[in-house]
Structure 1
């Protein structure tokens, strides 16, 4: 049986990818890692990842075919890019058991050890997404139409960290499930552009019955979202002050990673692990909105014209 980690990235997220890989290898020098390119622009990020032992997903034709098929199923208006579904290739890669991780994450442990739970389950997640109800996942229509029960909706999860097994369903099963989603866009909460997460939750809740969220284990588990204000730094990791437990990983989901963002010092620590941290650069102010730019121009004209 083979175990490993999948990531999806392109050249735009080189810095995030390096920080993630440095954190991973700090705690685990052995686990195989495979990169699934997000798009055709992946040569630089793959070059940067190779010193960490990262290999390229072998069947890139399959990945491309997958995205084209999803585009055919959903059409242009369903979500902004079918490339966000490239993580679906994980189900059909070389690892018998695998962990998928977004690269806007750093880890604080040998994260692959969590796959031990796959002895009793077929799908794992590790987050508190469900505490917000079905926000960014489903609308109330899934309850109204009896698609899922209240109990099943307690299993909604963040799609940036999950683990599962190869061979749970076929490619055709995947396409059939996605076709169901395309017929009912009103089932999904796309209000904040989380276009891969709603579809992915539907797939897992429909196709995989033996699911387990690690935060529901006895004694609970620490949080992981970078917008949570109650994490405290202790050395090169964070402690969840609500549970008293060290974080397993930190996820900047929906957060731009830049100086001044939550837990920037932790991200910077891992990005430059083994290197000299560069001098801090000034944070450029955000550009003015179009309406504000128009007001500013009017003010300048007024200043020139007034006596």
Structure 2
């Protein structure tokens, strides 16, 4: 049985990918890693990650193109904020019998592949507290009022930036069938904050994979992992969650721009610069907004809230 890790990347996220790979390789020198190209602008990052970390590019690029084309034909060009995120679904058909998928805006603090040991008794793993926020950014209330899912089922929603499963558990036809189901019912999903693939992936999980396990529900619970959580205690190499008295397994900057001044910047910067053979990251601090810009942003926010209400 072959285990491995998939990431999705292009040249634009080079610094994030380097930080992620530095963290993975610090704890695990051997697990194979495959990069799924986010778009056609991936050759520079592919060369860098192959040279320094042994990362290879997903072989069946024809399938990735077919997947992207079918997605566009099903939903059109305006449905998703970032439709290329769906390319991560190539994980089901790659070289690994069991796999982890990890977003590039993550750093890990352990031999992360060992979490696949949970697949001995389940078919799908996630590891986050997304469900505690309710169904926001995944589903609309209609999935409950129309009995699409039960209250118990929606407690299994997860963040699409970190998950693991088994090869061919979902078929290519399953993907296309799910696309068609979801396109027929856009009212089931919450895209109000420009989430992209996450609602559809969660729908597929709940409909197609009954044996699933969220690692935060293990005995003794598990630490949080979202960089928007302000209670973590951070050192350069490790971050600690005092609520469960455990070190984090990984830290995820989901929805947060990684730049000087962002939450846990020192931790990200530490991992980004672990490899002295690579040039330092050149990420400028955010430009401070004028009072007029702040006021205009508030007006736009109020307009968006009014649109949601109607």
TM-score, reference length from structure 1: 0.91
The Cα of 1:248 is off from its aligned counterpart by: 0.2
Residue 116 (structure 2) aligns with: 115
1:284 positional shift: 2.8
CA distance in 1, matches of 2:280, 2:166: 39
CA distance in 2, matches of 1:215, 1:5: 20
Q: Aligned pair in 2 of structure 1 residues 86, 277: CA closer, same or farther (>3 Å)? A: closer
Structure 1: where are the runs of 5+ without partners? 294-307
Over 3 Å counting, the alpha-carbon distance change for 1:146 and 1:281 in structure 2 is: closer
Distance 1:290 1:176, change over 3 A: same
Judged with a 3 Å threshold, the aligned counterparts in structure 2 of structure 1 residues 15 and 211 are, in CA distance, closer, same or farther, namely same
The alpha-carbon deviation at position 169 of structure 1 amounts to: 2.5
Tell whether 2:273 aligns with 1:272. Answer: yes
Deviation at 1:168, TM superposition (A): 1.1
Query: Quick one: distance in 2 between partners of 1:283 and 1:70?
Result: 35
Deviation of the 1:291 alpha carbon: 7.5
Q: What do residues 272-293 of structure 1 show as CA deviations (whole Å, max 9, x unaligned)?
A: 0143968996653247639769
Q: What is the TM-score of this pair, normalised by structure 2?
A: 0.90
Partners of 2:83 and 2:91 lie apart in 1 by 15
- 1:73 match: secondary structure: helix
Aligned to 2:288: 285
SS of residue in 1 equivalent to 2:70: helix
1:15 aligned residue? 15
**Counterpart check, 1:207 vs 2:208:** yes
Correspondence for 2:239 = 238
Which residue of structure 2 aligns with residue 254 of structure 1? 255
Q: 79-88 or 9-18, which moves further after superposition?
A: 79-88
Alignment of 1:64 onto 2:52: no
Inter-CA distance 192–2: structure 2 relative to 1 (3 Å threshold): same
CA distance in 1, matches of 2:79, 2:143: 18
Deviation at 1:82, TM superposition (A): 2.2
**What residue ranges of structure 2 are gaps of 5+ in the alignment?**
298-310
C-alpha distance in 1 between matches for 2:192 and 2:144: 18
- Report the counterpart of residue 301 of structure 2 in structure 1: none
Question: Residues 41-94 of structure 1, C-alpha deviation per residue, up to 9 Å, x if partnerless?
Answer: 001111121110100000101101100001101112311342110011101111
Query: 1:278 & 1:177 partners in 2: Cα distance?
Result: 40
Q: Bigger radius of gyration, 1 or 2? A: 1
Check whether the contact 2:236–2:270 (CA below 8 A) recurs between aligned residues: no
1:231-278: per-residue Cα shift (whole Å, max 9, x none)?
A: 112451000011110000000000000000000000000000143968
Q: Which residue of 1 aligns with 2:304?
A: none
Count of aligned pairs:
293
Q: Tell me which residue corresponds to 2:56.
A: 55
Residue of structure 2 in register with 1:193 after alignment: 194
Structure 1 equivalent of residue 159 of structure 2: 158
CA distance in 2, matches of 1:181, 1:15: 34
Distance verdict in 2 for CA 1:140–1:167, change over 3 Å: same
Counterpart for residue 220 of structure 1: 221
